[in-house]
Amino acid sequence: MHDFSYHRPSNVAEAASLLAGAEDGKLLAGGQTLIPTLKLRLARPSDVIDLSGIAELSGIKVDGGTVTIGATTRHADVASSAEVREAIPALAALAEMIGDPQVRNSGSIGGAVANNDPAADYPAAVLALDATVETNKRTIAADDFFTGIFETVLEADEIVTAVSFPVPSRAAYSKFPQPASRFALVGVMVAETGGGVRVAVTGAGACVFRVAAMESALSSDFSAQALDGISLPPDELNSDIHGSAEYRAHLIGVMASRAVAAAG
């Protein structure tokens, strides 16, 4: 690990000012991705700004038809939240599927969406549930947030403060985990929202994506059978030692059907 200056601000404004003033500042949330990156010397920030002392960034609020989760809220807290389980059970179930107990007790939703790992679970929930990502500067719609492999529209000095999920009429997430890391080889979230049916796939491509053909079929008939015959070309899907592009294309259909059946 290279040397860096460590800061532990107590509010978002202070964190934003430290980030803006740093030569190459990095925010630290659960550290599940950042710490290994530093240890491997893949990043060499001048300043690390630890968000763990900022109380306003943590917690879960259910207000009418919206579940708002603070950026530093741990996956384990989302998984065990009675309010999330009641309002969006699929979201609590997704959080419960992330990694292992250590990862779930350290990793945060803000870190997960900002990092946008192509095999991470939360991006599928954010996109399928038509969530909004709140930052210290603006509110960003899910469809605009994820832009590519490990890339989002976040600016270098922008801090995710919360993610807001509108409560869907029904939703489910189905994941085929890579057995060692538990990341998604393919994960599919299906949701019926105020804006229609949305299907988001993670793990299969460079970045989470929606499947228009499935959304259209499910809009007329919300059943697993409605997905029969819909397949994705493997051309642009991931292929690695864990699974070929063809295998992932097949898994998208299987996971989507399971999610639809589970959503009821």
The residue number whose beta carbon is nearest to ligand FAD equals 111
Closer by beta carbon to ligand FAD, 54 or else 217:
54
Contact between 201 and ligand FAD per CB under 6 A: no
Contact between 110 and ligand FAD per CB under 6 A: yes
Q: 117-146: which residues touch ligand FAD (CB under 6 A)?
A: 120-122
Contact between 231 and ligand FAD per CB under 6 A: no
Contact between 103 and ligand FAD per CB under 6 A: yes
Nearest to 253 by CA among 207, 202, 208, 214: 214
Q: 80-99: which residues touch ligand FAD (CB under 6 A)?
A: 98-99
Q: Which stretch binds ligand FAD (CB under 6 A): 82-90, 176-184, 212-220, 251-259?
A: 176-184
Contacts with ligand FAD, 18-37, as mask; x by CB under 6 A: --------xxxxxxxxx---
Closer by beta carbon to ligand FAD, 118 or else 166:
118
Among 160, 211, 232, 263, binds ligand FAD (CB under 6 A): 160
Inter-residue contact 116 to 123 (CB < 8 Å): yes
Write the DSSP string, the chain. Answer: ----EEE--SSHHHHHHHHHHSSSEEEESS-TTHHHHHHTTS---SEEEEGGG-GGG--EEEETTEEEEETT-BHHHHHH-HHHHHH-HHHHHHHHTSS-HHHHHH-BHHHHHHH--TT-SHHHHHHHTT-EEEESS-EEEHHHHEEETTEES--TT--EEEEEEEPPSEEEEEEEE-TTT--EEEEEEEEEETTEEEEEEESSSSS-EE-HHHHHHHHH--SGGGGTT----GGGS--BTTB-HHHHHHHHHHHHHHHHHHH-
Q: Which stretch binds ligand FAD (CB under 6 A): 60-68, 175-183, 203-211, 217-225?
A: 175-183
Closer by beta carbon to ligand FAD, 178 or else 216:
178
Closer by beta carbon to ligand FAD, 75 or else 198:
75
Residues that bind ligand FAD (CB under 6 A): 26-34, 51, 71, 75, 98-99, 103, 106-108, 110-112, 114-115, 120-122, 154, 159-160, 181-183
